[in-house]
Amino acid sequence: MNSNQCSFCGRKRNEVKMLVSGNNGFICENCIEQAHVIVKDSMTKNGFSPADKIEDLKKPKEIKKFLDQYVIGQDQAKKQLSIAVYNHYKRLLHAKNENKEVEIEKSNIIMIGETGTGKTLLAKTIAKELNVPFCIVDATILTEAGYVGEDVESILSRLLMVADYDVEKAEKGIVFIDEIDKIARKSDNPSITRDVSGEGVQQGLLKLLEGSIVNVPPQGGRKHPDQKYIQVDTKNILFIAGGAFDGIKEIIERRLNKQAIGFSSEKLNKAEEEDYILSQINAIDLRKFGLIPELLGRFPIVTYLDRLTKETMIRIMKEPKNSIVNQFVELFKMDGVKLKFTDQSIEKIVEETMEKGLGARGLRGTTEKVLEDYMFDIAARKEIVLSDDNIKL
């Protein structure tokens, strides 16, 4: 190793401004600059860049096929989400066409479903498949401008962070707003006073969803006068919203004149009936729930997620690539322990979780509880077979 010359280009110390030392060599500022250009070009090619022509776009069926590997059931939601994402890509391609006479508007999507049915999982999974910046934000942290909390513009701060502060990339991104139902207004009447984290936030979101140039604080949080802002055009950002909308079923029943008391014995069973009621959801019900009409107009696609049946929960335990069974088998394998779940043990875990009413999210907690003693005394045995007899709940 020669400390008087660059190990890459061979320039002598007196020919360059600086030589930076490493473990086994030296590099000059010229080589550092060239390396930076190469890295930047490489990231542009491999980073967030949608396809250049429509033939290269993944079709809705292909997107849904990918989702099927990780999310069990919810075919209707997966279908609508795949179409929305595919159309988003097509809009980006169409926007490049300078001679276009027709401007295609975006179709933001709102997903409704009980806790643990897979809304956030769908969003996270589709993020793996996409080639545009994607971020998940929580609506519960947002407050009306002027109050403690975060402004609605902080949503775009997260997107900018994901896109490495490249505004052009961020302007083609997708944002998933979780817990959208938590910003519903408190009564059916328009608020004449300030509704700090309800109607005020919904009104703040309007310009973001529609498409406008927004001043975004780079680090998120509150705005203040001396701060430098980044301008982001939200015209091509797709917004997906999700929420549990607890109590929406009763609102739909009232509209359909199908009060729970009036169900007759000839009707379908209760689970199928609840699915049918949810499938009838529309913007009228969401307005009754507390979302303002202006906001609903900016979410043209309304989709719902089915309640999880026992059979679906059993499939969730076993089938996805990163299923709970696979995760714990892998965890025990690291200690050289072979873990096996019998069908009876999986069924028992599912039944216990369904009693708690936590949805698929609760499966992990129940499984942790079942395996608690085995994990505590991990070195005691080389093989564990979980059956109906040795499960303690």
How far apart are the C-alpha atoms of 357 and 377, rounded to whole Å? 30
Any idea which residue has 């009409």 for tokens? 293
- CB contact at 8 A, 68 and 299: no
- 358 dihedral zone (left: phi>0; alpha: psi -120 to 50; beta): alpha
Q: Between helices 75-95 and 60-70, what is the axis angle to 10°?
A: 140
Residue corresponding to tokens 């276009």: 100
Statement: residue 334 has pLDDT above 90: yes
- The three-class DSSP label of residue 132 is coil
Measured CA distances, 24 to 1, 30, 39 (Å): 7, 18, 21
Residue 287 has pLDDT above 70, yes or no: yes
Which of 61-75, 89-103, 198-212, 251-265 tops mean pLDDT? 61-75
**Structural tokens at position 336:** 């050289």
pLDDT computed for residue 392 by the predictor:
74
- pLDDT band at 114; cut points 50, 70, 90: confident
Mean pLDDT of the chain: 83
Residues 242-251 have a mean pLDDT of: 89
H/E stretch holding 208 reads helix 199-210
pLDDT-derived band at 278, boundaries 50, 70, 90: confident
pLDDT grade, residue 324 (50/70/90)? very high
Q: What is the pLDDT of residue 189?
A: 56
Residue with tokens 């473990």: 23
> pTM of the prediction?
0.75
The pLDDT of residue 228 is 81
The pLDDT assigned to 349 comes to 94
Nearest CA among 123, 152, 118, 151 for reference residue 136: 123
| Spatial separation of the C-alpha atoms in residues 290 and 304, rounded to whole Å | 17
pLDDT over 60 at 131, yes or no: yes
Distance CA 263, CA 219 (A): 53
